[in-house]
Amino acid sequence: MPEAGTGLAGELRLLGAEVASAATPRADLADRVLARIAEPAASRRARPPGWLRAAAVLAGLLVAVGLAAAVSPQVRAAIKAVFGVAGVEIRPGAGPTPAPSPVLPGEHRTDLPGAGREAGFTVRVPAGLGPPDEVTVADRRVVSLVYRRAGIRLEEFVGTLDLNYEKYLGAGMAEQVAVGGRPGLWFAEPVTLVYVDRDGVAHPESARRTAGHTLTWTDGDVTLRLEGVRDRAAAVALARTVR
């Protein structure tokens, strides 16, 4: 809460804050709104099908999936504006069944320079964790660093276009955080990730449930996802060392 300030303006700010605590919307507001906008379903069906496919072709991406349901670009834009992280999309809903041993398409082991060459960007590395136990690259796009002893996984991919990650989750499950001044999102609950390739095809064999506690942020045109640090402050602190 910003400082109220003095004088009449300050009093008005206080008044606003008091109203904020006294006036609350009805509990079933969202249900009512959703019921209302569902009414003219027939007319709205005309939305171009396959936008997800189109967006996926543009972006080529890793997708955290719950429902394989379409969300319009407008809703995406609004949600993106709200959550403020490039390349991250929030979708509520339960995820698909995770694969027994999830694997990304074409995922193979390599080393840091090799991963950078293949994915086409400089791979960022956290300070203080030592060399990763495993470096993989998948689909010439997604680089994963695994630190077994620390139980940490760091994924990186170029996320210049609108859609890179989608996370399906319930409202209120993501928290906005700042990682060295850059916008980030903290997920305290597990999400399900499914890879979607450049042709917009989802790969169910890649479906993987995260352990929970995921931090996503962007550094330039690279989107990073840090998994395995339980404490939010510790995750942000570690993320700040990723260079």
Partner 1 sequence: MSAGEREAYRVLVDRYSALAHRTAVLLGAGSDADDVVQEAFVKAFQALPRFRAGEPFRPWLVRIVVNETHNARRGRRRARLTLERAAPRYDPPVGADEPVERALSGERRAVLLAGLAALRSVDREVLTCRYLLDLSEAETASALSMPRGTVKSRTARALDRLRAVLGEPAPVEVSDA
**44 touching partner 1, by CB under 8 A:** yes
Q: Going residue by residue from 135 to 174, which x/- string records binding to partner 1, judged by CB under 8 A?
A: ---------------------------x--------xx--
Q: Half-sphere exposure of 176 toward its Cβ, with a 13 Å CA cutoff?
A: 11
Does 29 contact partner 1 by CB under 8 A? yes
Strand order in the sheet with 108-110: 108-110, 134-138, 142-147, 152-158, 222-227, 214-219, 182-187, 174-179
Instruction: Please name the residues in contact with 141: beta carbons below 8 A apart, sequence gap of 6 or more.
Output: 60, 61, 62, 119, 157, 158
Give the one residue of 53, 54, 57, 70 binding partner 1; rule: CB under 8 A. Answer: 70
Please say whether the beta carbons of 195 and 203 come within 8 A: yes
- Report the nearest approach of partner 1 to the CB of residue 154 (Å): 26
Q: Which is nearer to partner 1, 93 or 114 (CB)?
A: 93
Q: Which of 18, 111, 221, 231 binds partner 1 (CB under 8 A)?
A: 18
Answer yes or no whether residue 213 interacts with partner 1 by CB under 8 A: no
Cα–chain center distance at 99? 20
Contacts with partner 1, 80-99, as mask; x by CB under 8 A: xxx-------xxxx------
Q: Counting contacts by CB under 8 A, is residue 188 touching partner 1?
A: no
* Cα gap 143→140, rounded to integer Å: 8
Residue 235 buriedness (CB in 10 A; 0-12 / 13-18 / 19+): buried
Taking the complex as a whole, how short is the minimal distance between the CB of residue 65 and partner 1, in angstroms?
A: 10
For the residues of 192-240, what is the DSSP string, one character each? EEEEE-TTS-EEEEEEEE--S-EEEEEETTEEEEEE---SHHHHHHHHH
From candidates 36, 100, 120, 128, binder to partner 1 by CB under 8 A = 36
35 phi, psi to nearest 5 deg: -65, -40
- Minimum Å distance from CB 175 to partner 1? 12
Q: How far is the CB of 231 from partner 1 (least distance, A)?
A: 24
Nearest approach in angstroms of CB 35 to partner 1 is 9
Q: Which residues bind partner 1 (CB under 8 A)?
A: 2, 4, 6-9, 11-16, 18-26, 29-30, 32-34, 36-38, 41, 44-45, 47, 66-82, 90-93, 162, 171-172
